Amino acid sequence: MQVILYTRPSCVLCTELRRDLAEFQATLGFTLVERNIEEDADDLARFALLIPVLEIDGGPLRYPPHHWDELDAALRAAHRAEAPA
């Protein structure tokens, strides 16, 4: 499972979400990819005022606010969907 975190330097909310994701990552073992929106003009245009934005395993984008219980449910659902039957 892959989780993409759209972020930018000096973003306090991004730092907090990154810390939360690290806790989930230890349990669920997903790959976390961070994309600095300032390094991609398209990302910057799309997300300039919306970060941190999450994409969980190719699913719909998740915009702030990010609540722990909702994040937990979304990550666990994606993890279950990926598990072999």
The tens digit of pLDDT for each residue in 21-59 reads 999 999 999 999 999 999 999 999 999 999 999 999 999
DSSP H/E element including 78:
helix 68-82
* Mean pLDDT of the chain, nearest integer: 94
Q: pTM score, two decimals? A: 0.91
Question: 16 vs 41, 66, 77, CA distance in Å?
Answer: 24, 10, 22
